Amino acid sequence: MEAETIVVAAGSPRMSPQDRRAAPRHTPICDRVWIAWMEVGGVQLAAVRLDDLSSSGAAVLLDKPLPSGEPVWIGVEGTSLSEGMIADIVRVVPHDESSCRAGLRFGQPCALGKKSEK
């Protein structure tokens, strides 16, 4: 299985001692992403902030509830739904008074590329 590339990671890996991911976390250069999911009546879309990223998952900050037990799609702002990665929600915890932090696990590995100079 070939990994899909998302060009959003840079810098050194950021990991906590209690890291739950198999791959190192990276601080994103681009933190504006979207999350989409299916509900009765169609696709729901929310703009969220990318907090960290690894080849196996991501953490996002959001102020809108997510469905439990259903997959979501995540993509970089400006990309289409078909370009998004499928992910499972593995945890949602409070972040501050008006937002929460959701942990996502990708359905397939995501190859992290450095932003290219053009």
Stated as kind and residue range, the H or E segment containing 32 is strand 32-39
Closest C-alpha among 3, 102, 22, 94 to residue 58: 102
Identify whether 118 is part of a domain: no
Identify whether 88 is part of a domain: yes
Does 68 have pLDDT greater than 70? yes
Identify whether 19 is part of a domain: no
Give residue 87's domain range: 4-12+30-112
- Assign 24 a pLDDT band (cuts: 50, 70, 90): low
CATH code for position 86:
2.40.10.220
Identify whether 42 is part of a domain: yes
Q: CA distances (Å), 16 to each of 13, 28, 55, in order?
A: 10, 16, 16
The whole-angstrom separation of Cα 105 and Cα 25 is 12
- Does residue 93 or residue 18 have the better pLDDT? 93
Q: What is the pLDDT of residue 48?
A: 93
Q: What is the pLDDT of residue 16?
A: 41
32-36, 64-68, 91-95, range with the lowest pLDDT: 64-68
User: How many domains, the chain?
Assistant: 1
Identify whether 75 is part of a domain: yes
Which residue's entry shows tokens 């999911």?
A: 37
The overall pTM is greater than 0.85: no
Identify whether 79 is part of a domain: yes
